[in-house]
Amino acid sequence: MFRTHLNVAWRSIKKDKLFTIIKIGGFAVGICACILISLFIKNEVSYDKHYAKNDQIYRVVMQGVFEGEVMKSTHFPLPFSEALQTDFAEIEKAGKVNSIEIFGAGKRGFRLEGKQENTFEENFLLADQEAFNILEIELEQGNAETALLNPQSIVLSESKAAKYFPNGNAVGQTVFLDNDATKPYTITGIMNDVPKNSHLNFDFLLPVDDNYGGWTNQNYFTYVLVNPNTNIAELENKLATVVDKYIIPAQIERGRSADFIEVLRTIEYKLQPISDIYLKSDLKMQDGLKHGDIKFVWLFAAIALFVLLLAIINFINLSTAKSANRAKEVGLRKTIGAFRNNLVNQFLTESVLFSIISFVLGTALAWALLPMFNEIAAKNIAMPWLSWWFLPLLLASSLLVGVLAGLYPAFYLSAFRPANVLKGSLSIGSKSGKLRSGLVVFQFTTSVVLIIGTLIIYQQMDYIINKKLGYQKEQVVVLEGTNILGDKMESFKNQLLGLSQVKSVTATSYLPLDGGSRNGNTFRLENKDDGGRGVPAQIWRVDYDYIKTLGIALKKGRDFSKEFATDSENAIVINSKMASDLGLKDPIGKKVSNGQTFTIIGVIEDFHFKSLKEDISALSLVIGENIGAVSVKLEKGNPTEALAAIEAIWDSNIPNQALSYNFMEQEFAQMHDDVQRMGKIFNSFALFAILVACLGLFALSAFMVEQRKKEISIRLVLGAPFKSIYQLLTLDFLKLILVSICIAIPVGWYLMNHWLEGFAYHINIGLGIFITAGIIALGVAILTISYQSIGAALVKPTKGLRTE
């Protein structure tokens, strides 16, 4: 019996090639989208799941209340981890990682002993021995228990060791950083490459300098390994004792105000599971690490489900629409004694066969598109052909989807009564149907929502790239790894300024870009009876040409000047936000302190030095040496010529080091790479969904033309014009599309408005977006339908009536 069902199903597939191609093609596209999205989601949720003691490893998060607002941080003083390990029996180990190194070091010169040439490298991380053990860093070579005990030790990843020591003899070798021959580092270990699905990404591991920082400098991430079965909520409550025992005494000794101490008393410590850091953290802007977004995971899961649903809806629509064509078959089978369950099995067999073929094609399409998808998503995902679950899951899914997609058509078609079928009374009813109309509305509602999302994401990205930032990123070249210049920096700057193509030059790695240095402090006003109100702010060490080079507008006071000797010691320039936070209407001449006292000489306009997902916060500039990067403002003209001249000067100063540079505009765009990538993925799968919906609409319009060809021929014989025939065949569909647009607009507005709330600065959703989305949807629908409708309206009437 099964073989008979299979033969009939195969004959049915070959009989109507157009509908077969659309059914299988729509299914295959939906399956392809599901596979790609599922692989993406699997990769996203796999972050930091590779630790053997995953459920025991946590990152410490601090939160406190400042002026009624809950503030969070992942930065802690250097002795904090030792205090945790000493004072709390529940904590087996506590270690620290230098967060400043994560987002402030940029590229560094790396040179082997005996070599003249330096190479720029990045992904350096400072950690202590406890963090080394907590993060389960495994060594291919060296002793894991002592790898970071020597302050001049360095651990390389396996890939970097292979790059520099292809003969395999890396341990014990000497290297130099930043061309500093006075500080040799000894390679003490070769570690396995950090997994790509880790929130920490590093190739070079250096020991923490225990001589830098006390209880008042907060620069370190703290990771803890708790004992099994620890009650985390109880431990979090106990951790608050650290504030009274260590934090507050240190700040009192520093002379902090009573108000500031009261703020400290609100501090709590939370333990964040390490597997939550990448996807579920609300500290994405504070910690400077690589993050995903659980909202995007859910969004893409919904898109995958909807694309598959659209493909299934196509199958149901086409199967029920073709009911008249199968009605006589059903009637004759029942007349000669076929039972309903035989017919149900027949149609389910056809559906499952369609599904299996579609899954094979969809999987092949996903495999073919995976390299392109990886490029868009910045991933390195591979098809898990050898995984034990992959092929069985595909087979089970193809059977399940085939059965689910075929249930309604099977029971619908098998329910026809032979008498009604053989009288021909089903042919009219098959031309329409509330269910089919409802499914078309669902398909195009989904499509219009996705079109709205695509338009809004595009406009938001355009807004970010072109928004006025408060500084001039155009024509600015950032030279990286310039700390290798050492005491040649001033001479190098002067040589650059001698070029006709160069307008100004500034040397500092404190830049309004990802990878720029950051340093948070708390400031208070001097000469206040209560010691002054503490204000958290960034303090950036810059040179005299910083404000001029970046084109930052001066609102009050003056810029730094070499004519004022005190500027290099105690002058400070603050932004408007910091002046407002300090409660200063006229800040010029006022004194502020972060342990060192500064005099405010100028106020600059607020500028965006973080992602546009964040509000502008308090910022201060002071004169100080920081030569990790050099920014060169070019005159308008040929940048290629200017870069060649800059490179020539670089080579004359550092002949053994290639110049590494980037344009500030490009680096700014990279700050929002994650959103742009997600936008591209969203747009790609939106096109998948729209394609599937259009395939269904095309097939339905083709079928309706086929069903009504005699009616059309009679109308043409009676003199009906082309316009009336075209309207007859398209009007019903266009009504459904208009209903879809009306439903999709509020849904699209709600979803995208919620998405935009994740940006501190974003576009306003205007009526024009919905009008454009509606026009696009109508245009696509009209084009899809018109091919069949125009062909039917232009056909010779005799073709439709020749059998009458």
The pLDDT tens digits for 480-498 are 888 888 888 999 999 999 9
Structure tokens at 328: 């006589």
The Cα 779–Cα 161 span in angstroms is: 58
Residue type at 569 in one-letter notation: E
Q: What is the mean pLDDT of residues 324-350?
A: 68
Does pLDDT of 345 surpass 90? no
The pLDDT score that the predictor gives to residue 3 is 66
Please say whether the dihedral angle defined by the alpha carbons of residues 256, 258, 264 and 265, taken in this order, is positive or negative.
Answer: positive
The Cα 432–Cα 428 span in angstroms is: 8
Residue-wise pLDDT tens digits, 110-159: 889 888 888 888 889 999 999 999 999 999 999 988 898 898 999 999 99
Given a contact cutoff of 8 angstroms between Cβ atoms, the answer to whether 29 and 692 are in contact is yes
Residue type at 518 in one-letter notation: R
Q: Which residues lie below 8 Å from residue 16, measured CB to CB, with a gap of 6+?
A: 322, 325
- Angle 456-457-461 from CA coordinates, rounded to 5°: 115
Given a contact cutoff of 8 angstroms between Cβ atoms, the answer to whether 668 and 471 are in contact is no
Residue-wise pLDDT tens digits, 12-67: 666 667 677 777 888 888 899 899 999 999 999 999 999 999 999 999 999 887 66
Q: What is the phi/psi pair of residue 218, to 5°?
A: -115, 100
The Cα 343–Cα 335 span in angstroms is: 12
Residue-wise pLDDT tens digits, 686-743: 888 888 878 777 777 776 776 677 777 777 777 778 788 778 778 888 888 899 999 9
DSSP per residue over 671-716, as a string?
HTHHHHHHHHHHHHHHHHHHHHHHHHHHHHHHHHHHHTHHHHHHHH
Does pLDDT of 531 surpass 50? no
The pLDDT score that the predictor gives to residue 594 is 82
Given a contact cutoff of 8 angstroms between Cβ atoms, the answer to whether 388 and 45 are in contact is no
Give the pLDDT band of residue 437 (cuts 50, 70, 90).
Answer: confident
Q: Which residues lie below 8 Å from residue 404, measured CB to CB, with a gap of 6+?
A: 312
Residue-wise pLDDT tens digits, 619-668: 999 999 888 899 999 998 888 899 999 999 998 998 877 888 889 988 88
The pLDDT score that the predictor gives to residue 745 is 94
Which of 286-295, 394-403, 462-471 comes out lowest in average pLDDT? 286-295
The pLDDT score that the predictor gives to residue 530 is 45
Residue-wise pLDDT tens digits, 247-279: 888 888 877 767 777 778 888 999 999 999 998
Given a contact cutoff of 8 angstroms between Cβ atoms, the answer to whether 153 and 147 are in contact is yes
pTM of the model: 0.80
